[in-house]
């Protein structure tokens, strides 16, 4: 009986296995007691949580970059307003100086041409500063558009990747360790039968019933 019990244990070890559904990327496993629909639902939930967390990180990263560019652009816009105001003032001063120079030709009071030239140079400098600010703002707008496009692409990649992860399903055959095979009862059971001849036919009848032996 001991040898038979040992043989029975070996037979279970060599022939028993359980099919386990697995999504190794999500670290989700389920035995045969869980239906495939329930397993996929669990995977979808886990993937949704993972996706939302990653999307939040991606948005945060791009928001930080966007805030930096927007801050620089707003500062440049303030400088542009100042430059335009300065340019307007320079133009007025230049026109006034030119007018004085022209009038001096008629009233015989000579005005220095160097002063007019100086005002012209100051006006040109102010115009250059305005153009420089406009170019800088245009560059910042380009950077913002580029960041928005990169963010959209990054978000699409995250959504696609987690959709793929959620759909992963593999089946793993798990065999038991011998130490995990527990035999509570082992023995030999005999079910008696009677062989009888009825109307010339040989028949086998149970020698027992649900209420006990016959």
Positive or negative CA dihedral for 22, 27, 30, 34? negative
Helix (H) or strand (E) holding 195: strand 193-198
pTM of the model: 0.60
Q: Are 22 and 29 in contact (CB under 8 A)?
A: yes
DSSP string, 134-154: HHHHHHHHHHHHHHHHHHHHH
In order along its 214 residues, the chain shows pLDDT tens digits of 889 888 888 888 888 888 999 999 999 999 889 999 999 999 999 999 999 999 999 999 999 999 999 999 998 888 888 877 776 776 665 554 554 454 454 455 444 444 554 665 666 677 778 888 888 989 999 999 999 999 999 999 999 999 999 999 999 998 888 888 888 888 878 788 889 988 889 988 887 765 444 3
Give the C-alpha separation, 179 to 181, whole Å.
6
Would you list the domain boundaries of the chain?
Answer: 1-16+177-214, 25-174
pLDDT at 131: 84
What are the C-alpha distances in Å from 171 to residues 163, 164, 188? 19, 17, 37
The token duo for 199 is 């109307």
pLDDT at 53: 96
């Amino acid at each position: 009986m001991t040898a038979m019990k040992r043989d029975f244990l070996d037979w279970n070890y060599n022939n028993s296995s359980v099919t386990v559904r697995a999504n190794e990327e999500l670290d989700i496993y389920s035995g045969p007691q869980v239906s495939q629909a329930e397993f996929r639902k669990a995977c979808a939930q886990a993937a949704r949580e993972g996706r939302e967390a990653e999307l939040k990180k991606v948005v945060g990263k791009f928001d930080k970059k966007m805030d930096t560019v927007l801050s620089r652009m707003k500062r440049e816009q303030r400088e542009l307003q100042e430059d335009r105001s300065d340019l307007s003032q320079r133009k007025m001063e230049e026109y006034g100086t030119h007018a004085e120079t022209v009038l001096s030709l008629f009233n015989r009071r000579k005005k220095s041409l160097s002063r007019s030239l100086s005002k012209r140079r100051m006006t040109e400098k102010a115009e250059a500063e305005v153009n420089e600010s406009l170019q800088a703002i245009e560059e910042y707008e380009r950077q913002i558009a580029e960041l928005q496009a990169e963010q959209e692409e990054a978000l699409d990649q995250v959504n696609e990747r987690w959709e793929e992860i959620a759909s992963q399903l593999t089946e793993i055959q798990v065999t038991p360790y011998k130490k995990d095979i527990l035999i509570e009862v082992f023995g030999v059971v005999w079910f008696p039968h009677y062989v009888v001849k009825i109307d010339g036919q040989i028949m086998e009848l149970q020698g027992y019933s649900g209420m006990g032996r016959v």
